[in-house]
Structure 1
Amino acid sequence: MTPLDYDFLRGFLKTRSGLVLSNDKQYLIESRLMPIVRKNGMASISELVQKLKMPGQEPLASAVTEAMTTNESFFFRDKTPFDHFKEHMLPALMKARAAKRHIRIWCAAASTGQEPYSLAMILKEMGAAVAGWRFEIIGTDLSGEVLERAKAGVYTQFEVQRGLPIQMLLKYFQQNGDQWTISQEIRSMVHYHTLNLLNDFSALGQFDIVYCRNVLIYFDQPTKIDVLNRTAKLLAPDGYLLLGAAETVVGLTEAFKPVTERRGLYVPGGKPAVAAPGAAAAPKLFAYAGSRPS
Structure 2
Amino acid sequence: MSLLADDFAYLRQRVLRRSGLVLEPDMHALVETRLMSLLREERLPDISALVARLRSQPESSPLHQRLAEALANHETAFFRDAPVFDALRSTVLPALLAKRSRTRTLRIWCAACAYGQEPYSIAMTLAEAGLLITGWTVRILATDFSTRALVRASEARYDAQEIHRGLTPELRQRYFHPERDGWRLNEQVRRPVELRPLNLMDDFPPEAPVDLVFLRNVMIYWDVPTRRAVLARVRRMLHADGYLVLGAAEASPLVEDGFTRHLIGQTSWYRPTPAPHASASAPVEDAPRPPRSGARP
Above 0.5 in TM-score? yes
Say whether the 8 Å CA contact 2:139–2:192 is kept in structure 1. Answer: yes
Say whether the 8 Å CA contact 2:220–2:251 is kept in structure 1. Answer: no
| 1:231 and 2:224 are equivalent in the alignment | no
Q: How high is the TM-score relative to the length of structure 2?
A: 0.87
- Residue number in structure 2 paired with 1:220: 223
Separation in 2 of the partners of 1:129 and 1:38?
44
| 1:82 and 2:85 are equivalent in the alignment | yes
Separation in 2 of the partners of 1:29 and 1:66?
12
Give the root-mean-square deviation of aligned CA atoms: 1.7
Say whether the 8 Å CA contact 1:228–1:253 is kept in structure 2. Answer: no
- Residue number in structure 2 paired with 1:164: 167
Say whether the 8 Å CA contact 2:91–2:264 is kept in structure 1. Answer: no
| 1:19 and 2:21 are equivalent in the alignment | yes
Please show how residues 129-208 of structure 1 align to structure 2 within 5 Å: 131-208=134-211
Q: What is the number of residues matched between the two proteins?
A: 271
Letter in 1 for 2:268: G
Deviation at 1:270, TM superposition (A): 5.5
SS in 1 for 2:22: coil
- Residue number in structure 2 paired with 1:116: 119
Say whether the 8 Å CA contact 1:142–1:196 is kept in structure 2. Answer: yes
Q: How high is the TM-score relative to the length of structure 1?
A: 0.88
Deviation at 1:56, TM superposition (A): 4.8
SS in 2 for 1:259: strand
Q: Work out which of the residue numbers 29, 32, 53 in structure 2 matches 1:30.
A: 32
Identity, % of aligned positions: 39
Separation in 1 of the partners of 2:20 and 2:192?
30
Deviation at 1:204, TM superposition (A): 3.1
Say whether the 8 Å CA contact 2:87–2:264 is kept in structure 1. Answer: no
Separation in 2 of the partners of 1:241 and 1:202?
19
Separation in 1 of the partners of 2:141 and 2:250?
22
Deviation at 1:253, TM superposition (A): 3.6
Letter in 1 for 2:15: L
- Residue number in structure 2 paired with 1:292: none
Deviation at 1:132, TM superposition (A): 1.6
Separation in 1 of the partners of 2:145 and 2:176?
26
SS in 2 for 1:37: helix
| 1:6 and 2:3 are equivalent in the alignment | no
Deviation at 1:205, TM superposition (A): 2.7
Say whether the 8 Å CA contact 2:12–2:22 is kept in structure 1. Answer: yes
5+ residue gaps, structure 2, are: 276-297
Structure 2 vs 1, CA of residues 198 and 188 (structure 1 numbering), >3 Å: closer, same or farther? same
| 1:269 and 2:269 are equivalent in the alignment | no
| Deviations 1:23-81, CA, capped at 9 Å, x for gaps | 11111111011221122121210011011111357121111111000111111001111
Separation in 1 of the partners of 2:132 and 2:175?
19
Say whether the 8 Å CA contact 1:123–1:130 is kept in structure 2. Answer: no
